[in-house]
Chain A
């Protein structure tokens, strides 16, 4: 191959160009340097999340009580859905590396198959993320807030009570329409009428307030249901902001990855790389795709697990 002839000429022509000091082509090297800078960008975001989380460590929402939905299942299933998303992304990383491997051996049919499966995996991941965002935005329990501080409703033992349970009674389980919108006065009067109800801080510490403290707070409160950039029912405003920003930025990477994969896939079908004599383009895009998986591994740990 070309590399061999270059190595033999290397001694007389070291500075004459045409060498590959890293043993990697220009394109591959540039992809690596891009990924390096992107890794630092993501670590900037995740450490910023860490800073804010450490700053508000006593009231920061507990992730496993925020992300508890699983399609088709009732009740709380913490981590299960993100675990599935992680599995999907790792799986699509495997199909990608199999496509790269097939490319090394110039097997067009295998490259086509594995690349197609990678694209499918990417779409499934994006769909899963959309589903998760939908539930995050819509919310589940509902909370109240007083001057930007979010409080959960809880019973006297500190167990969380949803707004629907507060207004319609405790036995009103998660059936039916639990996305009903409640007004401030509805919630305040229901809270004042039920002497068992308390207010509670979000977070691991989760301080429960006394009945008299709760009563004076609830009178000044307004209802928060669901999440947006200005307020969210899970706790601190920045929690949702970081969630949208970090998973959104990662999701945007996945989306770009899928688009690039489709372009490469079309080129594989057209035989572009067959004519070129190598499938290095699949390898370069593969690097990007694995990087997206790598970032998710860290997002999974620092956003959902820790």
Chain B
């Protein structure tokens, strides 16, 4: 099995990941409270700030899945089995549904 790394080293990694998650969340909250004016410009249908939020969220998701859920240490075939369907289906669904939503707004459906 893949659990050959020693315990102390793993505990250290866990706490590093925790602090990354903490800092990213803190940054999100601070940005969400102060709403910096330069980030309020419209880029691709929504404010730049929202794009930043999404990137930071995906970053947090990566750290949770890779380290806490141990995916980084799994075999390649398992990694791809889990990530490919999510990476294809969820952005696809999001894209069609949000496009449809703005169209419904436009025509007042």
Report which A residues bind B (CB closer than 8 A). Answer: 1, 3, 21-24, 29, 32, 36, 39-40, 43-44, 47-48, 50-58, 64, 78-80, 83, 86-87, 90-91, 93-94, 96-98, 100-102, 104-105, 283, 286-287, 290-291, 293-294, 297-298, 300-301, 304-306
A22 B85 Cβ-Cβ under 8 A: no
Task: Give B76 Cβ to nearest chain A Cβ, in Å.
Answer: 10
In contact, B28 and A21 (Cβ under 8 angstroms): no
Which listed residue, A79, A101, A291, touches B29 by the CB 8 Å rule? A79
CB B6 to nearest CB in A, in angstroms, measures 9
With A and B bound together, what is the CA distance between A39 and B65 in angstroms? 12
Bound: A291/B104 CA distance, A:
33
Contact indicator A87/B25 (Cβ below 8 Å) = yes
Are A294's CB and B65's CB within 8 A? yes
The answer to whether A79 and B33 have CB atoms under 8 Å apart is yes
- Whether the pair B1, A298 counts as a contact (CB closer than 8 A) is no
Is B97 a contact partner of A305 (Cβ separation < 8 A)?
A: no
Known: A79-B33, A83-B25, A301-B28. A51 touches B65 (CB 8 A): no
Contact string, B54-81, partner A, CB cutoff 8 A, digits 1/0? 1011001100110111100011011001
Please report the C-alpha to C-alpha distance between residue A57 and residue B50 in the assembled complex, in whole angstroms.
14
Contact between A290 and B28 (Cβ–Cβ < 8 Å)?
no
| Chain A positions within 8 Å of B74 at CB level | 22-24
Q: How far is the CA of A93 from the CA of B79 in the complex (A)?
A: 21
Q: Is the beta-carbon distance between B90 and A290 smaller than 8 angstroms?
A: no
- Indicate if B82 sits at the interface (CB-CB under 8 A): yes
- Listed by A's residue number, 23 A-B pairs whose Cβ atoms lie within 8 Å are A23-B1, A40-B85, A52-B101, A54-B102, A54-B105, A55-B109, A56-B105, A93-B64, A94-B68, A96-B68, A100-B70, A101-B7, A290-B64, A293-B68, A297-B64, A300-B28, A301-B28, A301-B56, A301-B57, A304-B32, A305-B32, A305-B53, A306-B53
Residues of B within 8 A of A283 (CB): 70
A53 with B57: in contact, given A22-B78, A101-B10, A290-B69 (CB under 8 Å)? no
Residues of A within 8 Å of B104, CB to CB, are 51, 54-55
Across chains A and B, which 10 residue pairs bring their CB atoms closest together, nearest first? A54-B101, A51-B101, A23-B75, A22-B78, A301-B57, A47-B97, A83-B29, A290-B68, A55-B104, A43-B90
